[in-house]
Amino acid sequence: MLCVGLVGVTGHVVQVEADLAPGLPAVVISGLPDSALHEARDRVRAAIVNSGQRWPNRRITLNLLPATLPKFGSAFDLAIAAAVLGGSGELPLVALDGVAILGELGLDGTVRPVRGVLPMVAAAARAGIERVIVPVDNAAEAAVIPGLRVRAVDTLHRLVTYVRDGTPLAAPPPADPPAAPGGPDLAEVAGQGVGRRAVEVAAAGGHHLALLGPPGAGKTMLAERMPSILPELDDEAALEVTALHSIAGLLPPGGRLLRRPPFQAPHHSATVPALVGGGSGLARPGAVSLAHRGVLFLDEAPEFSKGALEALRQPLEAGRVQLARSHGGTEYPARSQLVLAANPCPCARPAGDASCECTPLVRRRYLGRLSGPLLDRIDVQVTLLPVRAAELMDAAVAPESSATVAARVAAARRAAAERWAGSGRRLNAEIPGPQLRQPPWRLPAADTRELRGRLDAGSLSARGFDRVIRMAWTIADLDGRARPDGEDVREAIQLRTGERV
């Protein structure tokens, strides 16, 4: 029997062997099974008996190949049951040759859905398997992968009658139509021209963003509306995002790819495993991976634990999370845009500095929870001022909608993708610094004089230097220019430092 096991987001085809020998009745499972898979012997035995089949009272040895690959979860139950019935002579297995079988068994013989079906069937397709049998509740998800013949079962008895009598199995239901765009609109944000510009630049170039300011300034509103100005995911990105949500068990029903960039906003009490991934056995993706190709928003960022914030530094730089466990390592993609929002001090008076009662030392300690190395990885750092009554009540000038800004962002991203097509990268934020400092992409010395001065004075790190250059390219893309000029560099410095240049 064929099945598929997952290690991270990578699927591996697993062959399930069953040997029935004389001796005391027992079931032995080999091939590095985890606890859930060890317990499959009890689930499978009860499911076979309660489905009206005979359980062989012999010594049963189940082997999962390759034996060196760790096996996790209950998705092997249905394949194990078929292997046992085939080995006992109860079931002719010719109809299941070359078929990958996935599913968890209940004690009454029902086939229950499992997590991670999408990356599993994708791995089966890459291995040349053309037919898969999955639980009914996973059928629409599995049908997303082209070139596969997907069939669904709801009980073990249904699978047995299919093999014995040729009773056809159910085809997957048609996928739901794409969801209509919705959600918060940028037009709802009053004023905050600097904040709106920062969000637009961050979205266009894939840059990380930090929004500082008093309560009510619009930090959370701006962050929550960033996904509305991001382009839809292409096929490759949509498969990656959908697979991650499938593994986490968060895939919505309907059997369609997730085309909208994801948005994750964990509470400030989130632990390190909740942010970057973890758990016993097969480590599951955390918020930074579930926000892959989308936005990870940390509201009230200084309230997060220091360990949780510092754990984000490596994923932000590498675009992936590597989790080491005693059973082996797991890697998840984590190319998400980080958006931080923070009040300037613990008292967080709505009027800002005018009514703040915090001492300078208290303010420094509060924002000091955001370490320098973490902030150095955030390209855009802006401070928002309180919204004035004139901006809040003036209805004469309507703010730009998300659709209007999204059109500029999409055009800027297309320009960047065409420019960097030869490098295999699509966003300005992904381009290595050395590439931007060498011809033909190196900017004239006159345009970078102020930037080089800040680097020499120590007010800007080498990493910050490269990030300002990347933002300058993004600003030029938004404005429709082929190359950035001195004004673009100065605006990028302002967005990086919050200082007027």
Angle at alpha carbon of residue 159, lines to 157 and 164, rounded to 5°:
95
Residue range(s) in the chain whose domain bears CATH number 3.30.230.10: 2-165
pLDDT tens digits for 292-328? 999 999 999 999 999 999 999 999 989 999 887 766 6
Residues near 406 by beta carbon (within 8 Å), at least 6 away in sequence: 228, 229, 230, 231
- Is the domain spanning 2-165 CATH 3.10.180.10? The answer is no
Check pLDDT > 60 for residue 351. Answer: no
Q: For 167-171, 225-229, 350-354, 454-458, which range has the lowest pLDDT when averaged over its residues?
A: 350-354
Confidence of residue 396 (pLDDT cuts 50, 70, 90): low
Please, are residues 379 and 428 in contact by the beta-carbon 8 Å criterion? no
Helix, strand or coil, per DSSP, at residue 6: strand
Report pTM. Answer: 0.90
Give residue 284's pLDDT: 86
**For the chain, what is the total number of helices (H) and then of strands (E)?**
21, 16
- Give just the sign of the alpha carbon dihedral 393, 395, 401, 407: negative
What is the distance between the alpha carbons of residues 265 and 287, in angstroms, rounded to a whole number? Answer: 8
101-130 pLDDT, tens digit per residue, is 999 999 999 999 999 999 999 999 999 999
More confident: 183 or 450: 450
CA atoms 137, 140, 143, 149: torsion sign: positive
Every domain of the chain with CATH number 3.40.50.300 lies at 186-430
For residue 395, is pLDDT > 90? Answer: no
Query: In the predicted model, what is the mean pLDDT of residues 184-204?
Result: 91
Q: What percent of the chain has pLDDT over 70?
A: 95
Looking at residue 180, what is its pLDDT? 63
Cα 367 from Cα 378, distance rounded (Å): 15
Assign a CATH topology to domain 186-430. Rossmann fold (3.40.50)
